Amino acid sequence: MAIQWFPGHMTRAKRQIQDKLKLIDIAIELLDARVPISSRNPMIDEILQGKPRLIILNKSDLADPVMNEQWKQYFENEGHTVAIVDSNTGTRVNEIPILTKQILKAKIDRQIAKGMNPRANRGLIVGIPNVGKSTLINRLAGRNIAITGDKPGVTKGQQWIKAGGELELLDTPGILWPRFDDQIVGYRLAMTGAIREQILNIDEIGYYAIKTLAGRYWNTIAERYSLTIDPPKDLEDNEEIVRVMEEIGRKRGCLMSGNRVDLDKASGIILRDLRAAKLGRITLEAPFDDMPIREVKK
């Protein structure tokens, strides 16, 4: 199954962002800490046209804390300023205005040297669907002003929101890109809920989830689903992965006639548990060792 999702409003959002760039001091790029590379739009450099940038590893409370630090180091080595944040709980959200001022210090100093009273910094919030942009804005604003939801594609327009006296934020719809060159990206985004389930084959996403989790977090899933079977010997062996899915399905009562396992139902349970952190704090990709291809194909 080839996973793609690029609704028309995303094309409009890209144009609208580029139209607003002249008003923007800094871009605040949100990534999902569980899939930092897969959740990073490879068109973002083209879209932002060299604007100063702060990278936010969001949903960090759902991600492996050791991997959070490794990803922070990875992006810092690329020359970016990075914050590890969770907008749902508010973890370290208060660092964002401070880091924004640090990044823009030269601009602010120039304004002061000219005798100007520096205005509020204007930040553009960008990221893929369901990465937590509106939730972060509400945290920074101290009130529920941006529309939020647990499904991708909730924000359709753009709005300016005051986040204290020194920061104004422009919320934008989540933007994917026209075509995933590496289908690993599509599977990982589907696993974390960035793509609408209605266009997915759930059993395929569940299969890929088990393939990933069995390789990285076998003890975690074995404990969650009371598995007594051995872990897969070969993660590329389809029968081995299906064997684990079927065992989970049996443990959770996902049975059809003839004692066959309903893999769709079992996959739904696995994905809901993954997204709700019932499997613990899990990161689905690591720097360098399994990074997907990032070339953009239109």
What is the sign of the dihedral through the CA atoms of 220, 223, 229 and 230? positive
Residue with tokens 């594609």: 153
What is the sign of the dihedral through the CA atoms of 78, 294, 129 and 173? positive
Predicted confidence band at 233 (pLDDT cuts at 50, 70, 90)?
A: very high
152-200 per-position pLDDT tens digit: 344 444 667 888 778 888 876 666 655 566 678 888 988 998 877 666 7
Average pLDDT over residues 130-142: 88
- Out of 42-51, 116-125, 150-159, 175-184, pick the least confident: 150-159
247-292 per-position pLDDT tens digit: 999 999 999 999 999 999 999 999 999 999 999 999 999 997 666 6
Instruction: Name the residue among 234, 235, 241, 185 with its Cα closest to residue 35.
Output: 185
Cα 192 to its chain centre, rounded Å, is 7
Q: Give the tokens for residue 12.
A: 């409009």
What's the pTM? 0.85
Instruction: Name the residue among 136, 134, 121, 126 with its Cα closest to residue 46.
Output: 126
For residues 131 and 146, what is the distance between their CA atoms, to the nearest angstrom?
A: 14
Work out the percent of the chain whose per-residue pLDDT is above 70.
83
pLDDT above 90: residue 20: no
pLDDT above 90: residue 66: yes
From the options 3.30.565.10, 1.10.1580.10, 1.10.357.10, 3.30.460.10, give the CATH code of 201-275: 1.10.1580.10
pLDDT above 80: residue 5: no
Helix (H) or strand (E) holding 171: strand 167-171
In the chain, where are the structural domains located? 8-171, 201-275
Question: Are the C-beta atoms of residues 134 and 109 closer than 8 Å to each other?
Answer: no
Higher pLDDT, 111 or 153: 111
Question: Are the C-beta atoms of residues 222 and 195 closer than 8 Å to each other?
Answer: no
- Out of 8-22, 144-158, 199-213, pick the least confident: 144-158
Beta bridge partners of 55: 29, 82
Question: Are the C-beta atoms of residues 232 and 240 closer than 8 Å to each other?
Answer: yes
Predicted confidence band at 243 (pLDDT cuts at 50, 70, 90)?
A: very high
3-state secondary structure of 169: strand
For residues 226 and 252, what is the distance between their CA atoms, to the nearest angstrom?
A: 10
Q: Across all residues in the chain, what is the average pLDDT?
A: 84
The pLDDT value given to residue 156:
42
CATH architecture group of domain 8-171: 3-Layer(aba) Sandwich (3.40)
